[in-house]
Amino acid sequence: MRDLIATRPVIPAMSTKAIRAVRALEARVLALPQVQIETRHVLHAGMYARTICIPAGVLVTGALIKIPTLLIMSGHATVLIGGEDVELTGYAVIPASAGRKQAVYAHADTLLTMLFPTGARTVEEAEQEFTDEPDRLRSRHAPNHVTTTGE
């Protein structure tokens, strides 16, 4: 069991230089054919979670995250963390600071779930809460599945 749990204590805020590097990478990636990735959203009990599955061989970049969240990963991916490429394998629950823009390359199909406490009642409100770049979110350009419990 221990081998299945990836070790990474925290994803820190990124330097301006590291964020610029992800933006430059993103510009190159966006020039390539895009893979549609469904986003699964859950709003429940004052929590918002969004999950994507990155197919093996696919590189994704995220929007600039402005609040602290938890990031749950299951799979095998290289993630830009603190300006360095970190290979994670298995399952990890990672505290992730505000001020980050991730780049993730999936070596195998990899699930990523980001979650945080919220008072949002809709996915759009939750997205506005965690980023000032909601137009960059895959959920604005690909299929979505939304579960809202009202609890």
Pairing of strands 59-61, 103-106: antiparallel
Q: Residue 118: which pLDDT band, with cuts at 50, 70 and 90? A: very high
DSSP H or E segment with residue 76 = strand 69-81
pLDDT value of position 128: 96
Residues in contact with 13: Cβ distance below 8 Å, sequence separation at least 6, in sequence order: 97, 98, 99, 100
In this predicted model, what pLDDT tens digit does every residue of 74-99 receive, in sequence order?
A: 999 999 887 788 899 999 899 999 99
What DSSP state is assigned to residue 107? S
pLDDT value of position 78: 94
What are the sequence ranges of the domains in the chain?
A: 2-148
At 59 the three-state DSSP class reads: strand
Tokens of 96: 């992730």
DSSP H or E segment with residue 125 = helix 123-130
Q: Residue 6: which pLDDT band, with cuts at 50, 70 and 90? A: low
Which candidate, 21, 29, 28, 5, places its Cα nearest to that of 89?
Answer: 5
What DSSP state is assigned to residue 21? H
Tokens of 120: 């949002």
Q: Residue 1: which pLDDT band, with cuts at 50, 70 and 90? A: very low
pLDDT value of position 80: 87
Q: Residue 142: which pLDDT band, with cuts at 50, 70 and 90? A: confident
Helices and strands (H, E) in the chain, number of each type: 2, 8
Distance (Å, whole) CA 48 – CA 45: 9
Per CATH, the number for 2-148 is 2.60.120.10
Tokens of 21: 């590097």
Has residue 8 got a pLDDT over 70? no
Per the listing, tokens 């980023």 go with 131
pTM (two decimals): 0.90
